Amino acid sequence: MTHISFLSRPPPNALLGHWPFIKMHGLQNYFVIVDSRDGPKSFDEGDIVRICDSHTGVGGEQLLTIEHASDEGAKAGAYAAMRIFNTDGKEVGACGNATRCVAHLLLEETSGDEVQVETRAGVLHCRRVGPMQISVTLGPISMDWRRIPLANYVDTLHLPLQSGPLKDGVALNIGNPHAIFFVDQLDDVDMAHYAPVVQNDPLFPDGINVGAAQVLDGLTLRLAVWERPGILTKSCGTGACVAAHAALKRGLMTSRRIVVHLSVGSLEIEIVDGDMAVMTGPVAFCCHGFIEGAKCRSLQR
């Protein structure tokens, strides 16, 4: 199978260590994507921080690498694997919008309508549902305090902590950890002020993504998410999934098909099989070019 053409084409007369990338976004959740299947790409944490910084690199909320599926993943039907790195260089297990972007590239590569993508959160089923519209099935969503993880047992449906209007939250894990707080008026919540207090609470040894959700009606939510390592993202796919799941658990929704409005657009979430979420939304291209990694910089010293 031919890999994604301008991800795998080497730059002419480039030093070893300059690699092609594609920048994409899902509802202005921006990703720098590198194909590592034709040879390992050596990125250290400093590289990732630099590449994701718009002042020193391409700019993005995560760096994604496309890898060969593991033997176990291939047995489960995965066509390829992806790794996800936050702006601080730390690897994370899941990102719904990122998975949709990578899935779109792989679907273009295979000329198919369905593809399985291996992640640290498991093998995810992705489908093309329209022009530049991708769905991905995420989960299972867990509310077990040990899997989130929490430092000690608490009722995960009613978290015993508060930061201003963020109170009586719900803790969940969908491959990455989230705390969702239902608020009366989302526009009145200063996430940059209140969310870091929750994110850095000792109850969350690995930190946590903090969401504030406003119920508009039995079918619709508004959502804002303060993501690890500490940014107010314009869109969060896994956050939309767990917000819908938490709203159902709290009895706030009348349907398992829920529209989640984020600051720049909407995602459609359907909760299926009790603890799985099918997320559907758009993907878009930004640009492509070449970036340098650690090996290239070491050759220049």
Burial class (CB in 10 A: 0-12, 13-18, 19+), 217: exposed
Catalytic residue among 95, 101, 126, 296, which? 95
Cα gap 272→234, rounded to integer Å: 26
Cα gap 118→215, rounded to integer Å: 33
Whether 95 is a known active-site residue: answer yes
Cα gap 231→52, rounded to integer Å: 13
C-alpha dist (Å) from residue 45 to 70, 135, 268: 23, 30, 34
Say if CB 262 and CB 271 are below 8 A apart: no
Q: Which amino acid is at 287?
A: C
Question: Cα-Cα-Cα-Cα dihedral of 61, 67, 71, 75, to 10°?
Answer: 70
Q: How many CB atoms lie within 10 A of CB 40?
A: 11
C-alpha dist (Å) from residue 299 to 15, 35, 281: 8, 22, 42
**Tokens describing residue 223:** 């959502």
Whether 296 is a known active-site residue: answer no
Catalytic residue among 52, 101, 236, 241, which? 236
In 3D space, the residue among 241, 243, 246, 251 whose CA is nearest the CA of residue 276 turns out to be: 241
**What positions carry a catalytic annotation?**
95, 236
